[in-house]
Structure 1
Amino acid sequence: MSILPSLLAVLACVCFVSCQSEEEIKRERYITEGILVYKGNCANCHQTKGQGLAALYPPIAKSDYLVNKNKVICLIRYGQQGKIRVNGKQYNRPMPAHPQLSDLEIAEVVTYIYNQWGGEKKVTDVKSVAPVLEQCRTELSNATMK
């Protein structure tokens, strides 16, 4: 039995990975981890394909709500109560907060969501997510003090 086909397959994989930029490798890593975060925390309501659940939970796929990424980042960490309008349709189910998710996990799931359904082809890096989460925390603290 020849080892040549296996060797060629390994060589092809090595060449493919080595031809990718560091940014592309990072994006793929964030997306892969983001899928796991999404399946564990979001898919139950928003469904695996992001289509939402009837009139109960809004879609993420093809959602006009994705236009404000900072708001989405805050929503993932801190949740939301009350009415929300997505693609012209009103929803009124609370979205639970996910304080157990690290800043990195939020960056990963946001990268996945925006690459899968938001038309992006880039990383939403943890370095950009952390200050947004801090601003949200400050705004929420100020709002509760009033």
Structure 2
Amino acid sequence: MEVMMSCAKVRNLLSAYVDGELEGREMAAVRAHLQMCPSCCAECDEIRSIREKLHRLPQKAAPPDLLDRIKTRLQEADEPIPQRLQPGFAATVVMAAAAVLGAFAVYSVMHPSQEYPIAGEAPAVNGSQLDGVRDFERSRSPFSSHSIPVSLDDHSWGR
């Protein structure tokens, strides 16, 4: 007992069936399906009709220079494509940029940078550093003999 083909499978094979390109079981299966399926049979008849009409069309001769034009185009196609136009070039550039960014990210994580104060912010200092600043300022000031009390403990500089 032979398994029936689906309409979709038969429709895919109809052109080959009409052209006599199927063999053996496949040819028999399509023929059996067409005997039982009016829809596929109608489509097969339409393909046969189109085929017959195409064969009745007058044949037109190719232009005499067609072969030369084809050869010229083939030679042009053999010329190397400039590197910037090759399909892989853009992908290579993107991959290189991604590699550089990745290397930068890894380096940044492994070698954290020092923190620098933002403009307008006072750097964090401890008391012993302030004493050194006071001594330095006193030695450089033309008024070093006169002292003016200044509080350096106020951390609202520049705000």
TM-score bin, normalised by smaller chain: under 0.3
Give the number of the structure with larger relative contact order, counting CA–CA contacts within 8 Å between residues 6 or more apart.
1
In proportion to residue count, which structure has more strand?
Answer: 1
> Highest Rg: 1 or 2?
2
